[in-house]
Each structure stands twice: as structure tokens, then as C-alpha cells.
Structure 1
């Protein structure tokens, strides 16, 4: 899984440079060799969004992690370039106090990608995939959707330190929510996830991530229940 050790300025600079290269590669692949405008201004616009101050978990580190997981699962996808572009856009608009983030992110893709030279069918697929992250429930046979959703949820299968950092960062993003209300809402999300017949859809996700993810979710739910009981 991805290292969650805090990064310094040099690490951030290296990550930004690597992400700009990955954006260029994905965009060029999506264009299928056709000419288009310089990819880098689009990368920089997206990276500025991923660096907004309200973000604690949904940062460029999360973007890099999702792209890494897409690379792991790419052989399962029908169109890896579209999935990689969808990873870039899936949280490009993110406000924790709003509920329309995925729709606004998809709309951003629908505006930006044609201007960047991406054909209409690929743009439509990217936007569809971004909207799919509302539910993380791809239909059977939706191989692109399975890859994106598994990559986005792979953090659930992190080691104890990584998962703990993720849970703490999510809490920070919702710092405006009182503790009791956050625990109630977070517990509902965890229970909903645990009630799913499966969290992951790709063969790799099912084999490598599913058991640990369920253990992590159960542990966090138990901790939330203990915290609530201690205040009653």
C-alpha cells in the first residue's frame, strides 16, 4: 500500500513533477496520437484544485495513490487511459460541506477534456466514471468502473498506520461537524460498507484487499462505538 509518512517540500515537488508527467501520458494516450494543446496547464489547474486548503485526505497524495492503484489494476480495464483521467477528475471539486462534488467534478471533466483535445466518447466515459464514485457500485462487466472504484477504495485495505492516518484525515476534513454527529454519520457509512456483499470488484481487489478492508472497517466501527459509550 502507499506510504503515508508526512512529506516535506522536496517530496511535494517531486510528487508534483511526477504527477504532471503522468497527466501528460494519460492525456496523450486518450488523444490516440492526435495533436492538441499543451497538457501541462491542465495538469497545473487540476493540481491547484487538489491542493486546496480544506483538504486533508483528498489531496495530491490521494490522487497519486489512486493512480498507483490504477496502474496495479490496469490490465483489467478496457480503457486504462480513460480510467486514469477519471482518477484525476474524481475529486477535482471537493467541498466536505457539500453533496454535489462528484457531479461538479464530472462537469469539470466535460468542459476541460474536449478543450484539451480528448475525443467526445472518451470524455463521456471519463465523466461517467467520475459520477460512478458517488456509489462505488459498478455494474457487472463494467471493467473501467471496477478499476476506478477499487483504486479509490484501496485505502480501506491499508496497514494499521495508513488506515489510522486516513481516518484521522477524514475527521479533520469534517472538523466543522460536532464529535457526536460525526461518529453517528461515520458509523452509518462504515455499516453500509460492511453490509455490501463485496467491497472490491476486480480479481486483485477481491483477493488482496477485501479481507483487510473488512477488518479495518470493523475495527474503526468498534472504536466509534466505544467512544460513544464512554460519553453516555
Structure 2
């Protein structure tokens, strides 16, 4: 179970760090953290939960040295699945729009807000440009689950299936296999030096193994 108090503290540190030298009479960060945690705790979620948020933040911390603006990447991690309905499309776009509404009110500059929203939208494709260190860190942190040990990867795939329990098995297998093929066809899954070295090989093995199970 994720430590919600620890997550609230991490939110406050990232938000305050991203505000820069703006005026001190700014809103309390706590209500924004509570709103986001309520979203991440919605009942339709099985994988995209506070545990996933914690893992992504942990991986951002691990990769922070490769980012241009680590605190903005952390804020983007908070928002990247803040809107998540597996029965609907455009979750990333809706999450980005939520960031665009909330962050200026919380005290972020227009430029910082735009960067967070851009990063959230990037998680639709996980294809950051070569000169986009913030995007590379967020995308690698989000996909790091793919390089998990066998038991953790099995738990991840089972949780994803639970989120799509309303989809018949044949249709789910077909759709999931298509996603796995798309990922495996990418020239690289990870873009930071650490991700490329430590996660690329294990992730490709996991994806290949899952695809074999789905396709028989």
C-alpha cells in the first residue's frame, strides 16, 4: 500500500520547488495533493493507483540527474494518469487539461504549467525527442514497470487485465497483443542512459514472453 502522507509531502516539495521566486502568498499545496490522491484512488483502478504513482516518482528520483527540470517532471508524474477511465479514450489529454487548470491556481508560472502539460501529453506515445531530457525521464519512469522481475511483471499484467474486466477475453488479448507488438517495434523503449542500460533488455524479454502467452 502506498504511503499517502509520504506522497503528500512529495507533492508539496515538487510544487514548491517548481514555483521558483513567485510571491509567497500562494495556496496551500495540501488540497491539491488530496484532490489528486482521490483521483488516483478511484475504484476502477487496479494498476493505475497510488502504488503506480509512487513507483513512477521513485523512478523519476532515480533518473533526476538526466532531467532539465526534475520538479516539473515530478509534477507531470502526478498528473499523467490523474484522469483514468479504461472505458474511455483521451485520458492523457484530459489529464493534461486538468494540469492546465490546477497548476496556475496552485502558483505555477504559465511556462512551467505548459511544460507539465506537454509532458503529460507525451505519455500517450512515450516517444520523447532526443533533445527532450524531461520527456525522456518521465517516459522512462512510466515504462520502468516493463523491466520488472517476473513476479512483479505478472502482477502488473494481472492488474491491467482487471482494469479491463469489461472487455471480453478474446478482444482484450487481441488489443493487448497489438500494444505489445507496437512497443517491441520501437527502436528503443528507454531513452535515458540508465534506462537504456538497465531496463531495455529485461523489458523486451517481458514483452516478448507476454506476447507469446497471448498468441499461443
Paired residue for 2:192? 202
Answering whether residue 142 of structure 2 is matched by residue 142 of structure 1, we say no
User: Counterpart of 2:28 in 1: which secondary structure?
Assistant: coil
- Separation of aligned partners in 2, 1:25 and 1:33: 14
Which residue of 1 is the match for residue 87 of structure 2?
97
TM-score (norm 1): 0.91
| Alignment map for 1:5-154 (pairs within 5 Å) | 7=1, 12=2, 15-34=3-22, 35=24, 36-154=26-144
Q: How far apart, CA to CA, are the structure 2 residues paired with 1:54 and 1:205?
A: 30
**Size of the alignment, in residue pairs?**
214
**Runs of 4+ that moved beyond 2 A:** none
Gap runs ≥5 in structure 1? 1-6, 227-232
C-alpha separation between the residues in 1 aligned to 2:142 and 2:44?
19
Find the residue that maps to 1:86 and give its secondary structure.
helix
> Aligned partners of 2:103 and 2:182: how far apart in 1?
34
- State the alpha-carbon separation in 1 of the partners of residues 187 and 102 from structure 2: 36
TM-score between the two structures when normalised by the length of structure 2: 0.98
2:123 and 2:215 mapped to 1: Cα distance?
A: 27
Tell me, in whole angstroms, the C-alpha distance in 1 between the residues paired with 2:70 and 2:21. Answer: 15
| CA distance in structure 2 between the aligned counterparts of 1:105 and 1:225, rounded to whole angstroms | 33
C-alpha displacement at 1:106, in angstroms? 0.3
The Cα of 1:225 is off from its aligned counterpart by: 1.3
178-187 vs 31-40, greater mean Cα deviation: 31-40
Map of 2:162 onto structure 1: 172
Instruction: Supply the distance in 2 between the matched residues of 1:45 and 1:163 (Cα, whole angstroms).
Output: 29
Deviation at 1:32, TM superposition (A): 1.2
- 1:141-183 C-alpha deviation (Å, 9 max, x unpaired): 1000000000000000000010000000000000000000000
Q: CA RMSD in A?
A: 0.7
SS in 2 for 1:30: helix
Cα distance in structure 2, aligned partners of 1:100 and 1:223 = 29
Q: Structure 2: 5+ residue runs without aligned partners?
A: none
3-state SS in 1 of match to 2:199: helix
Map of 1:160 onto structure 2: 150
TM superposition shift of 1:33: 4.3
